[in-house]
Structure 1
Amino acid sequence: MTTARADSPPNGIDYPHQQPTGRFSNGLNFPDLIAEALGLESPLPFLNPDLKGKKLLAGANFASAGIGVLNDTGFQFVTVLKMYEQLGMFLEYKHRLAALMGPAKAQEVVSNAVILITCGGNDFVNNYFLTPVAPRREQYTLPDFCGYVMSEYKKLFDLVDELNRDIGEDVFISANAFSLKMDMIEKPEQYGAHGTRVCV
């Protein structure tokens, strides 16, 4: 059981049924918007008991609130599914899909899937600022910790580049969500917002 929960208001108040969805958002989040743009339904969480049979074909959501790239990120939430555990669930999803439709067809479905991994702020906020007892704060100065986290993220970016080179195409794409958000805040008119008040 985790204490990082999003199953109560105000989460979900702008969602079509105005019910909390388990997402830390008052409406659709980035993966939901991508699914909507592709004409797909938002995938169920992998641990949802309803994720079986044909519902597996819509994909699965492996997210766990509070995690990050660092394995100790989210320790204060008691139980979180760390990145490596989420990757293990992805492998289990592939096995379930193969049991449903056969290994070759399952591999085709996964090969043509859009896979989104979002991580970032939790490694900083949860490990350094949020808790009164923050082991990383004892271990690093803030500039040193920033350098450490950035070196871990660089490993991910390098892995993305390596995978694309091995495949021969840019199948994997990395994006800086912070820069995108700051661009919306600093240049709202480019995103259709006019006037003096903008809510992003």
Structure 2
Amino acid sequence: MKINDMKKMSIHIGGYVLIAAVMVSVILQQPELVTGQARVPAMFVLGDSLVEVGNNNFLPIIARANYLPYGIDLNFRPTGRFSNGLNFIDLLARLVNITSPPPFADPTTSGNRILGGVNYASAAAGILDESGQNYGSRFSMNQQMVNLQTTLSQLRTMMSPQAYTDYLSRSLVILVFGSNDYINNYLMPNLYSSSFRYRPPEFAYLLLNQYARQLLALYSLGLRKIFIPGLAPLGCIPNQRATGVAPPDRCVDNVNKILGTFNEGLKSLVDQLNQRLPGAIYVYGNTYSSIGDILNNPVAYGFTVVDRACCGVGRNQGQITCLPFQTPCLNRSQYVFWDAFHPTQAANSILARRAFYGPPSDAYPVNVQQMTLLH
């Protein structure tokens, strides 16, 4: 199985077959857990279900993961993470050597608990306020920015002005948005009109313009180190494979092709922000190529199943996502996808390490490890 190259992407996934052995050895030989002093004082996380840690548990929404078998590999504790175990942000936090930040909506997330950062991510959230509304109430990107400012107002009272400025400039911000603007908006013409109103490039520019405003707002708030992963090859997730549009052994190429403008534009936006904003360190995460490499070379990474979910119902176990108390697959570490939409902990671990240790083709212009060292 190969993912078709995206015409406008600067990284062509097919080319990774030739260098897979080298890349895998570099990434997988790195330590799982960095020990010692924390690399950043705090981590602030904004995004969707790929990085949520439980905010939707406190919201009136059906997009929740607070039931088994979610969390089956976290000592059978469903926390609201859309994973069998840890998600991308948990594993990246380990590498940065800080505790994964608590969910904003949890009433206990206050006082000293917010000093290490807060996670605002909400399943079904998109760049556009309307995206994901079919699931119910959630924190959209704009609302998450409001929530972030609430936290920053509290933090400002907990330290001196100079300490606060230094704290923000050294903290790490992660934003993971865009998937729901496609999966739960543009690719749902029966519920949303966006695909009738915008051609794919026009929709991508709409998203990028909205995204750019908030990326600039982060800088104006005093934050300087900002990591922004792009979109994965969404046409390869079980949910999209389950549509039956593509042959059984292929991804939905038409879905993957429309993502090129967004990913290419986001990388270009990172360049523009770094050039125009003094002291800014914006970094683009090439999730598309990282996931594509895993899907093109699964055995090299220890995977045997790439085309269906470990837990789900129907074609590719992706027509209906993981249901309460459903029995998942036993060999979870060999599956790339946990449910209809999300990677397993094993896949998340690889993505986190590529973001932290990877070359410019994975994290541009520097990786997360390097950005934590810059001042």
TM range (shorter): 0.7 to 0.9
1:114 aligned to 2:172? yes
Give the deviation of 1:179 after TM superposition.
Answer: 2.1
Contact 1:98 1:105 in 2 (8 A): no
CA RMSD of aligned residues (A): 2.3
Alpha-carbon shift at residue 99 of structure 1 (Å): 1.4
Q: Which amino acid aligns with 1:95?
A: S
Which one-letter code corresponds to 1:13 in the other structure? I
- Distance in 1 (CA, whole Å) between partners of 2:95 and 2:182 is 31
| Amino acid in the other structure paired with 2:288 | F
Q: Does 1:79 align with 2:137?
A: yes
**Post-superposition shift, 1:94?**
1.0
- Name the residue aligned to 2:184: 126
More helix by share: 1
Mapped to 1, the partners of 2:140 and 2:73 lie a distance apart of: 29
Measured after TM superposition, the shift of residue 147 of structure 1 is 1.9
Structure-1 residue corresponding to 2:205? 151
In the alignment, which residue of structure 2 is the partner of 1:171?
281
Corresponding residue pairs, total: 193
**Mapped pair 1:60 → 2:118:** yes
1:199 matched to 2:335? yes
Given the two structures, how large is their TM-score scaled by the length of structure 2?
0.47
Structure 1: any 5+ residue segments left out of the alignment?
none
1:39 and 1:177 map into 2 onto residues whose CA distance is: 22
Please state which structure has a larger fraction of its residues in strand. Answer: 2
Decide whether the 8 Å contact of 1:11 with 1:20 is kept in 2: yes
Q: CA deviation at 1:66?
A: 0.5
| C-alpha distance in 1 between matches for 2:156 and 2:280 | 26
Residue 13 of structure 1 pairs with residue 72 of structure 2: yes
Q: Aligned-pair distance for 1:189?
A: 5.1
Q: 1:135 to 1:43 in 2, by over 3 A?
A: same
8 Å CA contact 1:14–1:26 kept in 2: the answer is yes
Structure 1, 104-113 or 33-42: larger mean CA deviation? 104-113
153-162 or 77-86: bigger deviation: 153-162
Q: Quick check: 1:100 aligned with 2:161?
A: no
- What is the deviation of 1:8? 1.3
Structure 1 CA distance for aligned equivalents of residues 70 and 288 of structure 2: 21
Q: Which TM-score applies when normalising by structure 1?
A: 0.84
Residues 150 and 11 (structure 1), Cα distance of their counterparts in 2 relative to 1, 3 Å cut: same
Q: 1:116/1:85 Cα in 2 relative to 1: closer, same or farther (>3 Å)?
A: same
* Equivalent in the alignment of 1:162: 272
1:42 alignment partner, SS class: coil
The one-letter amino acid of 1:187's match is: N
Structure 1 equivalent of residue 85 of structure 2: 27
| Cα distance in 2, alignment partners of residues 52 and 170 from structure 1 | 28
Deviates more, 1:75-84 or 1:124-133: 124-133
Identity over the aligned pairs, expressed in percent?
32
